[in-house]
Structure formats: C-alpha cells, structure tokens
A and B are shown apart, each in its own frame.
Chain A
C-alpha cells in the first residue's frame, strides 16, 4: 500500500484499502479558521429537532485559529469571531489560537509549529491548503464547512474515496536562489491546475530527503493548486528532527511509509539541477514561466508571507538580499510573518529591522493580502508580485489587477528594483 492507503486503512479499522474504496476514517485533527462561524451554524442545524445537545465528539482533536481577517476588518467579522470565541469556550476547545502575538498566526503554520500534526494522522481542515500538513507525513485534506460540522458531530469523515497516488521523484541540487517554491510552481505548471484532481502527490527522491520541513510545507501547501486531494512526504529523520526540536513533541513518532510494491498511478521524475526561478503569471497558478520570460515587468506591490512562504527561512533569504538596500520608489513592500513565533524569531535575528530600514512594511501575522480581504488590496491596473499561492482574478482584492507568484528570493530582489528581477543576476 501507499502511505495514504495505509493511513486510511488504519483510521478506518480495515486491514487494507485500495483505490476507489469508500471509507470512513476516524479524524485525528479537525481544523477551522474564522469559517468556524459557518461550521457552528451547520453544526447546530444537525442537532435541530433532536433532543441531543450539540457537543463536539472530542474537543481535544479540534483546532480553531483566527488568521484570515486579523485583527477584524469589519464589525461583521468581529462579531463572527466573537461568536466562535464563545463557542470554543463552551465546547472546551483548547487548541484555540486567538488574535495574539504569542500563540497566534496562520493556521497552516500554527498546526505544525505546535506539534499538532503527527505522521500517520488523518487531518481535515476547512481550508483548501490543509494539504500543507502532508509535509509531516499526515494525510491532510480540505473540506467544506458542512462536512466539518459532520466531523464535529461524528468524529469521522463520512465520505472519503481512497485516492490514487502520483509518485513524484525529485533529484538534483538546486542552484543558488532556487528552491521548493520554484519546484512546486514548475510541477503545477507541468501537471496543470487539474492534473492531480482527486489524487495524492507523494514526494520522494534525494532532493526531498535533504529538504527541511519548512520547504516540504511549501511543496505540500501548493499540491492543491494542481487539484490534488493531498500532498505527502512520508515521515523520515527530518520529520522527527522538526517535531522534537521545533515543535517540542516528546511522544513516540510513528513512521508510516509506502510499501516497496505500492501501486502508483504514475511516476513523475524531476531533476532540479537546471531549474531557474519560476513565476506563475496571471490569472491561473498553472500559467508558469521561467523568470526570464517576465523579467523587467513593473510591480507596484511586493508581498512576502502566507502559509506558503512566511516562515523564518523565507524571511532569512529575503533579509539577506534586502539588507542595506532600499525598496524602489513606486513599489510597496508588505511582509507578514506566518506566526507570532516566526515574527519574534525574525525580530531577534534582525530581519524585521532590515526590512523596515529598506522601506518595507512589516505587518501582523495572519493571511493579510493573500486573499484580499482587508489589508494590502491592489489598485485598478496594478501588478503584485507575491510569495503566496494563488493568483486568481480578484484574489488580492481587485478584479482589475494582476498577481504574479514567486519565491521569497525573487520577491526581495524585485522589491529593490521595482521590476521582476532574477536574484541570480546575469552571471549564474
């Protein structure tokens, strides 16, 4: 069996499963953000007309993180957040991360950072980028609010079809200023936005072995941009290192790995040795081009952050490029660390100071401009270059603007020049 098949078999109490089987796995972790407000409505709806009291099946397995609109941009959002806050209190949800500088941040950063994600777990989230958590060897996928309400009531996901798996084997050493973001953009471009629809992308190969968990999170985060149900890197020594050293997990770790004779739908091999920085051009994530095709394009706003690229190593590479330089006049640079913890680490390392000296605005941790709800909207006809994961029309708050996606290195180099710039320069 593949890693995901093994996880599903065990969670469903079956000796084995095969592609296409419909199973009801027990859920190890159920995550929501502000959309918990909608989940609560649907949850209460389930109990209507019964004489049962609405009760989460296991409050210790539920996580709620405020990140999409923090601090609240409107009275409506604030009232939704208030309602969720009261609900988690009544239901005794302890994995609740409010709008705070100590424990707050983007949901997909908070989960791994706090050791909530474990290899072999079944994780569902009311957010499509829940695929991120496959980076630690879990089977993690996005669901809608009504389905989450059902999970809260029953503790199982009632309708999971065992997905086929595509094995992605990655070899070669990245060139300087090229990394996980360029790899996943390249792969999404190759597969197209629907190439992995209903499937799992399982990552293997020497390049993945050497990748840290932060980079693996970037990869699995964007697996959904190829339509994948989940991305997964089967747990290894790096996973163990991350869980012990960075997430403070003491309990034994369960390494679930694919069998030698696991059946894959397809095997894709990628050699990254010659890969150059990649850019996803408007208005689809699979419209990917090597940077040379768009070098020189004027950008009005550069964004570094999000669950894709808002971690400490992302900020480190940007700070290195920006240090002592200035953000180009006529270009705004917005940086939003993925969590309060990342923010505090970046402060301690001097990155925040370097960014501000350069003229960038460092914002509070959260989703920020990524989905164009309250901060950092674009003006008509403006162009953004962003390390986030989606460039759909209107994504950054304005349908009459464009978003290009790139790595933190490309974003930093371009903020200085005001045009899309290859950080490798002309010499590499």
Chain B
C-alpha cells in the first residue's frame, strides 16, 4: 500500500521539479535536497525526511515536460517516491526507467492526498474510494532495462557481451 503524499496538476515541467538554476549540481546524493525547490512547503517536508520511501506523488497529464535534465528524476529517486500520473512526457519517462525511478501511467486515476493506493501489474486501486483504474504497462523493451536494474547495468552487460564476441 502506498500513500498519496502530494498532488500536482497537468504539465508539471522539469523546471518545477528541479529548477534550472541548480543544474550545476549533478550528484544523486545532492539533487534530492533540491526537489521541488521553489515549492517551499513540499521541499521542506522532503528535506526533513517526513515523507516515507514508497509514497506516491500524484501527477496529472504530461508530467515531466520540458528540459531533458536528469536531475528531475534523480532528485525524486533519492526520496524513493513512486510517481503515478495520467501521462508522462517522453524524455522524463525514459530517464525514469533508465535510473530506476518507479513511474506508473494511469490515465484515469482519481485520488487525493492521504488516499491509499494499491498498485498491481495491471491496475491501481484506490483503497480509500474503492475505485479501480487500469494502468498502461511499459513496452517489453523498457521492462528489460528495469529488470537489469537500470540502463547502467544494462549497458555494462551489453558491453561485456560485445567485448566477448570480438575477442
């Protein structure tokens, strides 16, 4: 069971998730402190570790639009949030898969802060309202990256396989 801790609207850009002025900060150990930096209240809660890992950040449509900055993913991954959104922008979705941030596309989701969600392979159930919403599963090829533990181990494996065949 995962609790919805925060809810945002449509078209939340990576500038909102991770403001451009912090782009010189790149380390995954530092970016989580700057998640939603301009949203003082939420940022403070995150920084104070008041939000338990595995909590849900509920997004609307086109979550993560705009800049390709990967800090927008690593800053959320650092808090082990699960992002449930009606839809994701392409680069954000791919970055999330590459870094192992859990993202769930659930086009009709209805939930509020405080609701408890149960996420299965095919649906999200809002235990608080009793309603169930189908989710869009990821294409198989992306699952392969997730199964490998992210794009870095996936690429490492491919490199080693390649190194072997040319030997």
Interface of A toward B, CB cutoff 8 Å = 22, 34-35, 37-38, 41-42, 45-50, 52, 68-69, 74, 76-77, 80, 126-128, 142-147, 149-150, 153-154, 158-159, 161, 193-194, 197-198, 227, 229, 284, 286, 371-373, 390, 392-395, 397, 399
Which residues of the other chain, B, contact A46 by a CB distance below 8 angstroms?
152, 155-156, 159
Given the contacts A22-B141, A46-B159, A194-B87, A127 and B13 also touching, CB distance less than 8 Å: no
Given the contacts A42-B152, A50-B159, A159-B141, A194 and B38 also touching, CB distance less than 8 Å: no
Nearest-neighbor residue (CB-CB) of A40 within chain B: B26
30 contacts between A and B (CB under 8 A): A34-B23, A35-B69, A38-B26, A38-B70, A48-B156, A52-B159, A52-B160, A74-B24, A80-B24, A126-B68, A142-B68, A146-B98, A149-B155, A150-B98, A153-B155, A154-B155, A154-B158, A159-B142, A194-B61, A227-B62, A371-B20, A371-B67, A390-B66, A390-B67, A392-B66, A394-B38, A395-B20, A397-B20, A397-B21, A399-B38
Q: Compute how far the CA of A373 lies from the CA of B15 in the bound complex, rounded to whole angstroms.
A: 12
Which of A76, A197, A373 meets B62, CB within 8 Å? A197
Please determine whether B91 and A128 come into contact, CB atoms closer than 8 angstroms: yes
Q: Is the interface of B mostly helix, strand, loop or mixed?
A: helix
Which residues of the other chain, A, contact B89 by a CB distance below 8 angstroms?
194, 197, 227
Please determine whether B62 and A193 come into contact, CB atoms closer than 8 angstroms: yes
Please determine whether A52 and B21 come into contact, CB atoms closer than 8 angstroms: no
Nearest-neighbor residue (CB-CB) of B100 within chain A: A146
Which of A147, A161, A284, A286 meets B98, CB within 8 Å? A147
Q: Compute how far the CA of A145 lies from the CA of B74 in the bound complex, rounded to whole angstroms.
A: 11
Query: How many chain B residues touch A (Cβ–Cβ < 8 Å)?
Result: 49
Question: Which of A48, A127, A159, A198 counts the most B-chain CB atoms under 10 A from its CB?
Answer: A159
Which residues of the other chain, B, contact A158 by a CB distance below 8 angstroms?
145, 151, 154-155, 158
Which of A146, A193, A373, A394 meets B65, CB within 8 Å? A193
Which residues of the other chain, B, contact A143 by a CB distance below 8 angstroms?
68, 91, 94
Number of residue pairs spanning A and B whose beta carbons lie under 8 angstroms apart = 155
B163 at the interface (CB under 8 A from A): yes
Q: Compute how far the CA of A153 lies from the CA of B71 in the bound complex, rounded to whole angstroms.
A: 21
Q: Compute how far the CA of A127 lies from the CA of B21 in the bound complex, rounded to whole angstroms.
A: 15
How far is the CB of B137 from the nearest CB of chain A, in Å? Answer: 14
Which residues of the other chain, A, contact B155 by a CB distance below 8 angstroms?
46, 149-150, 153-154, 158
Which residues of the other chain, B, contact A52 by a CB distance below 8 angstroms?
159-160, 163
Nearest-neighbor residue (CB-CB) of B21 within chain A: A373
Q: Compute how far the CA of A143 lies from the CA of B11 in the bound complex, rounded to whole angstroms.
A: 19
Which residues of the other chain, B, contact A193 by a CB distance below 8 angstroms?
11, 62, 65
Interface of B toward A, CB cutoff 8 Å = 10-11, 13, 15-16, 19-21, 23-27, 38, 61-62, 65-71, 73, 87, 89-91, 94-95, 97-99, 139-142, 145, 150-152, 154-156, 158-160, 162-163
Which of A34, A42, A229, A372 meets B90, CB within 8 Å? A229
Q: Compute how far the CA of A213 lies from the CA of B70 in the bound complex, rounded to whole angstroms.
A: 30
Please determine whether B66 and A77 come into contact, CB atoms closer than 8 angstroms: no
Q: Compute how far the CA of A198 lies from the CA of B93 in the bound complex, rounded to whole angstroms.
A: 11
Which of B23, B27, B65, B156 meets A194, CB within 8 Å? B65
How far is the CB of A7 from the nearest CB of chain B, in Å? Answer: 18
Please determine whether B70 and A198 come into contact, CB atoms closer than 8 angstroms: no
Please determine whether A146 and B152 come into contact, CB atoms closer than 8 angstroms: yes
Please determine whether B156 and A144 come into contact, CB atoms closer than 8 angstroms: no
Which residues of the other chain, A, contact B16 by a CB distance below 8 angstroms?
392-394
How far is the CB of B86 from the nearest CB of chain A, in Å? Answer: 10
Please determine whether B62 and A194 come into contact, CB atoms closer than 8 angstroms: yes
Which residues of the other chain, A, contact B159 by a CB distance below 8 angstroms?
46-47, 50, 52, 153-154
Given A144-B73, A194-B61, A373-B23, output 6 extra A-B contacts at Cβ < 8 Å: A48-B156, A52-B159, A69-B23, A159-B142, A193-B65, A198-B90
Which of A35, A394, A399 meets B23, CB within 8 Å? A35
Q: Compute how far the CA of A48 lies from the CA of B157 in the bound complex, rounded to whole angstroms.
A: 11
Rank and list the top 4 A-B pairs by shortest CB-CB distance, nearest first: A144-B95, A194-B62, A371-B20, A38-B26
How far is the CB of B143 from the nearest CB of chain A, in Å? Answer: 11
Q: Compute how far the CA of A142 lies from the CA of B98 in the bound complex, rounded to whole angstroms.
A: 14
Question: Which of A22, A193, A198, A397 counts the most B-chain CB atoms under 10 A from its CB?
Answer: A193
Q: Compute how far the CA of A408 lies from the CA of B38 in the bound complex, rounded to whole angstroms.
A: 30
Q: Compute how far the CA of A35 lies from the CA of B23 in the bound complex, rounded to whole angstroms.
A: 8
Q: Compute how far the CA of A399 lies from the CA of B97 in the bound complex, rounded to whole angstroms.
A: 29
